[in-house]
Amino acid sequence: MKIITYTTTDLLGPLNDVEEKYAPKKLYVRGNLQIPLPGPRAAVIGSRKASSEGLKAASDVARTLVRKGVIIVSGLAEGIDTMAHKTTIEERGCTIAVLGTPLNRVYPQKNYQLQEIIMREHLAISQFPNGHKTMPTDFILRDRTMALISDASIIVEAGDSSGSLYQGWEAIRLGRPLFIWKSVMNNPSLNWPKKMVKYGAMELKEAEEVLDVLPFFRINLDTIAPFRT
């Protein structure tokens, strides 16, 4: 399946002034979801070096939301992102990977097969054209774009220096719901949850709470036939 180039508006529909300020002009897409993107979409994100508790929480949250028809968005990184994608696929749901590299590159390399499955049967999105030299700041830009693509973001596990925090702050800037998993929120060694709560982030005690803030759109099942028997 070939790579297709879209404007952000083509992919997401009309943007307001706040959304448009940092939106990429072009997005490179490969996969099998309808365009403009169906919804609802929730990002499940967190640490690359995730704990066993964090991985279980990511799997539980993704599974619960998928069974309610939510599309799971994540960044194909190790740890929480990988678990969110894999759980969605196992549950025969739909997942979107937003990459910090061009679509013809894989990072981390151990996710080569996972990226291939997503590009073939789900959807992979990058704001970087093939041939682009990847820089560390590209993953920050990826987080910003992932917040834009997602109707809500859920940080399952993250330290004070985690890259997931970039997406959290961007979700707040966009006025999108931001959830912080309960064990992280109540971790006294972390400073960032309290700061984000001051700006509107919410503690997530049960995955179902996300459903209350998601805009539900009809998913055209004919466009995602590979997920169904």
CA distance 103 to 30: 8
Contact 217, 13 (CB under 8 A): no
- The tally of CA atoms less than 13 A away on the side-chain side of residue 113 is 3
Q: What local confidence, expressed as pLDDT, does residue 2 receive?
A: 86
Per-residue model confidence (pLDDT) at position 53: 96
- DSSP-assigned beta bridge partners for residue 123: 31, 96
Q: Can you spell out the DSSP letters for 13-37?
A: ----HHHHHT--SEEEEEESS-SSP
Q: Which residues contact 186 (CB under 8 A, 6 or more apart)?
A: none
Architecture of domain 4-215: 3-Layer(aba) Sandwich (3.40)
Give the contacts of 14 (CB within 8 A, at least 6 positions apart): none
82's tokens: 């990988």
Give the model's pLDDT for residue 1.
65
Q: State residue 221's pLDDT score.
A: 39
| Helical segments of the chain, H only | 8-12, 17-21, 52-66, 80-90, 112-121, 137-149, 164-174, 182-185, 192-198
Residues 51 and 140: their CA atoms lie apart, in Å, by 23
For residue 71, which amino acid is it? I
Exposure string of 137-176, with b = 16+ CB inside 10 Å and e = fewer, is ebbebbbbbbbbbbbbbbbbbbeeebbbbbbbbbbbebeb
Mean pLDDT of each 10-residue bin along the chain, 229 residues long:
91 95 96 92 96 97 96 98 98 98 97 98 97 96 98 96 95 97 95 96 97 70 37
User: Phi/psi class of residue 225: alpha, beta or left (left: φ > 0; alpha: ψ in -120 to 50)?
Assistant: alpha
Q: Domain ranges in the chain?
A: 4-215
Distance CA 214, CA 194 (A): 23
pLDDT for res 15: 95
